Amino acid sequence: MSGTGKVVAITGASSGIGAATAVELAGRGASVVLGARRTDRLDSLVERIRAAGGRAEALATDVRRRADLEALVARAVDRFGRMDVLVSNAGVARVSALAELDVDGWDAMIDVNLRGVLAGIAAALPVFRRQGRGHFVTTVSTAGLKIVPTQAVYAGTKNAVRTLLEALRQESTDGALRTTSVSPGYVRTELTGAAGVDLAIDPGAVARAIAFAIEQPDDVEIGDITTRPTRQG
């Protein structure tokens, strides 16, 4: 099945890469089910997509709660009859040196960036297995490719997710599942640090990369994509 007509659930969909991905995929004919904590932004995004002729639903979703991920997947299946893709995009970035001991920040990143992805896998995997087809697309980061000071825990959570997806890929070589890790560099989102503001790229660039991976034939897997500014070191 091509990207047109697929049913895609997206976490962290209220802004940035998540919102751009929702608009991009809906414009290509996908039905999108949007999850985030900021429901006012979700509702506005759904209205925008529907006004352009797209199909969209929204549900308040906190990826730290397993029940919320289960409800998001259930909404996709109930509304559209199936779910083809889960885009796990919700993320938290707390930048600080380890010596600053921002333990609360570490916990937040582990809970959202790592446990949130695991909760999404737990919610979607039974549906994908039942359907005989499914695709996990997860936003990781170039922070996991080039380790720099002050990003240790953030990069650690992203690399942990990269490892999870690769393990899932190797456990699922029957052709039913696909996994894609998308590593954005500096992107103009609410997570962009001050150092990256001047060179950051539009989130639509990442959305187009996600669409490219999703639209491949079912027997083709795009395992890793890195999308970053040409001027990023």
Helix (H) or strand (E) holding 67: helix 66-80
Q: 87 and 211 in contact (C-beta within 8 Å)?
A: no
The Cα 114–Cα 123 span in angstroms is: 14
Per the residue annotation, which of 80, 128, 154, 186 is the catalytic one? Answer: 154
Phi-psi label, residue 132: left if phi above 0, alpha if psi -120 to 50, beta otherwise: left
The Cα 116–Cα 11 span in angstroms is: 9
The three-state secondary structure class of 64 is coil
Examine the residue annotation and report whether 186 is marked as an active-site residue of this protein. no
Give just the sign of the alpha carbon dihedral 49, 54, 59, 63. negative
Q: Write out the catalytic residue numbers.
A: 154
